[in-house]
Structure 1
């Protein structure tokens, strides 16, 4: 992948669209792992977060009803990394009920099955959030701020 290099790291920015079906989650993880091959300090966490966000998009949005999910990853040579998953908006049932679900960090309940994905994202990433898309969907993003040791010397 072409891009700006510092030592062994290359700045990267890639986007890929996948069918909104759980069977394509391994492909999304592989995409993240491939793009971030030089960014070993964040690749596993980024892959885990994309897996969670991809699964949420399949379960909770129109993307999982025959649509698609867009997966994006950008990493600088400082290892500041952003991953995101863009969905196609609320399900037909949510639209009919006039609901607009957004990811929320709910209190953990050990008796509840599921609802731990955003907790995992919150624990693994340095920051996360979401923003609305022009098509009615959401992009859920996560940031990893693991500075490269040589950059820490330059800034510290």
Structure 2
């Protein structure tokens, strides 16, 4: 009987309803997937940034969102969140390493500070505005970020 070796690459996808608990469900999914694959070193930044993106999808749209976790062969983990609103916020319109303005002081803004966390915690990020029936979901956008695991 041969031994089974686990793959280095994998992907999980989850469709989340428009529900205030969606970010919690996304965090639990991230914990389960990363823990199950022994990627504990990525847990804190991925859980935080995933929660931010899913929370923004809930706050700024009226429909569901989708979460996709993808482990790449070089040790990177890519997280994508699709929602139905086509606007791509900063910093997803900027390249990694670009000027990073400080977030507004507390009290001066109701939101938006969480997206600055992407610039601090992710190795790369981006966004695409989706038109037509791409992905079979209609219009909207896909925001993504990547973090590098140990040994990558």
Check conservation: 1:33, 1:44, Cα contact below 8 A: no
Aligned 1:1-150 pairs, distance under 5 A: 3-4=6-7, 10-37=8-35, 38-61=38-61, 65=62, 67-76=63-72, 78-89=74-85, 100-105=86-91, 107=101, 108-110=103-105, 111-133=108-130, 134=134, 135-148=138-151
Structure 1 runs of 4+ off > 6 angstroms? none
Unaligned stretches of 5+ in structure 1? 5-9, 90-99
Residue 70 to residue 19, structure 1, CA distance change in 2 (3 Å)? same
Deviation at 1:36, TM superposition (A): 1.2
Q: Give 1:50 deviation, angstroms.
A: 0.6
Check the 8 A contact 1:20/1:68 in 2, yes or no: yes
Instruction: Give distance in 1, aligned partners of 2:29 and 2:114.
Output: 20
DSSP 3-state at the match of 1:121: helix
Structure (1 or 2) with the greater helix fraction: 1
CA RMSD of aligned residues (A): 2.0
SS of 1:17 mapped into structure 2: strand
What is the CA–CA distance in structure 1 between the aligned matches of 2:121 and 2:41, rounded to whole Å? Answer: 12
